[in-house]
Amino acid sequence: MRRLAKSPMLRISCQQASRLLSQREDERLPFAKRARLRLHLAYCDACRTVSQQFATLRLAMRAWRDRAD
């Protein structure tokens, strides 16, 4: 796995990962972008935390929306 993470073709920066995490909230990412993001999240604790924060916000907003109905 570490060898894949070092591959320049697959590796993305934290800034790119952040953009993809945000984009993923609005639309389904193409396979290649999903794969790069998953690989990045496998070795980056900070971005994995951001991903978990997005998930928490998504659940909170869904609960708020369901309560408003």
Q: What is the pTM of this model?
A: 0.77
* Tens of pLDDT, residues 10-69: 789 999 999 999 999 999 999 999 999 999 999 999 999 999 999 999 999 989 988 876
Per-residue pLDDT at 2: 54
Question: Is pLDDT at 1 greater than 60 in this prediction?
Answer: no
Phi and psi (nearest 5°) for 52? -65, -35
Q: Judge contact between 14 and 39, C-beta under 8 A.
A: no
Using DSSP's 3-state secondary structure scheme, residue 32 falls into helix
Long-range contacts of 22-30 (CB under 8 A, 24+ apart): 22/54, 24/54, 25/54, 25/58
